[in-house]
Amino acid sequence: MKLTKREKKVLGWLAYGLFLLTICEIALRVYLVQFADPSRFLQYASRSMLKSRLSEPMNVPHFYLGYHNNPEYENETDFHNSHGFRGKEISLKKSEDIFRIVCIGGSTTYGSGVDDYRQSYPYLLQQKLNSLGAQVEVINAGVQGYNTLQSYLNYILKIEDLEADMLIVYHAFNDVFTRMVWPATAYKAGQSGQITISHPGNDGILRKLSIFRVPLVFSGAISPIGSWNEIEVEVDTYHGTEFVRQLINEKYPSGIFESVPIDSILQTNRPFFFKRNLNKLIREAKGNGTQVVLASVIYSDQEPEFMHVLKSSAYQKAISEHNAITRDLAIEHDLILLDFEKDIPAQNEWFTDGMHFNFLGNQKRAEKISELLLPLIDK
């Protein structure tokens, strides 16, 4: 059958389009594998790329926690030990001549702003305290994305056995997002109104091909492959991601927020679960003879590259509410308080995105903490 001139033209354009898509696909793959820095590689790589470089994903499902740090994870300058903590191997049983500190929290404790575990604040804190004459071991028990409920469960399941002398708790950011559910009846202690647990299966074409996957991940339409977001899947009553997406695209308020602004959602869903979880964590740790140190969180809203939510007055107010609860609990339980919000003016150059600390920020943080804690540590 002979093709018409019009049909030949259409086929020509289709072939040309396919050629361009193929070139773009090859270019993206070459960039990710050969030139992308570690953080961008983890953000946009396909599952096969991740397996070829890392062998194992950073996070894996956990029956009770939803997910946890993969003990098998290893990167060029980064790895988890056999217990799933970021950094070198440790002995579960504490040496008698060592003062053991465990740092617990989400990505701001784990150190998502740096690609090398030696640039995270727990590692730098250990180096600083030991340089001042202390005999200290600092364990990074942070897990990206964790809130106070997960950290409380993580303490019971994994951290309690470490027999820590001191526990440093840094939480607030992720717990604000647990409140962004609607209707209000979906706001529950178990966070069923926010997430459900999924076990990643086979990837479709949108995740396998870089020309589709990269822009979809960049826009927030899908989660990075191998990330904790891929395991914890959002449910319909959770609106935190949509809120952030609208801020990025300068479309807030639209959709649900036209009838129920984020301010109203946060005002209705008070932070009593944050307080309850933190209170339980404190009581559990103190009951084990561990000194508990609470810390208020800090951030910079000065032109953050990605964290548009930090410019939201509603989010800022919620963070202040959580910091106030942290202070109240420190007074109630007679705890040491690292009040970063009041004592350390946040500098934009300390952060990668306004929330996560870079190497410089982690250094400043470790220095401040060591000043306050050194007198409390038996040298």
Residue 56 pLDDT:
72
**DSSP state string for 120-180:** SHHHHHHHHHHHTT--EEEEE---TT--HHHHHHHIIIIIGGG--SEEEEE--HHHHHHT-
- Summarised one tens digit per residue, pLDDT across range 246-304 is 998 889 999 999 999 999 999 999 999 999 999 999 999 999 999 999 999 999 987 65
pLDDT at 6: 81
The string of pLDDT tens digits covering residues 117-157 is 999 999 999 999 999 999 999 999 999 999 999 999 999 99
CA-derived radius of gyration, the chain: 23
Task: Find, among 313, 368, 370, 360, the residue nearest to 341 by Cα.
Answer: 368
What is the tens place of the pLDDT at every residue in 18-57? 888 889 888 888 888 888 887 788 788 887 787 777 667 8
Question: Residue 202 — pLDDT band, cuts 50, 70, 90?
Answer: low
- Smallest CA-to-CA distance from 341 within 304, 310, 294, 295 is with 295
Domains of the chain: 77-179+270-376 (3.40.50.1110)
> In the predicted model, is pLDDT for residue 239 greater than 90?
yes
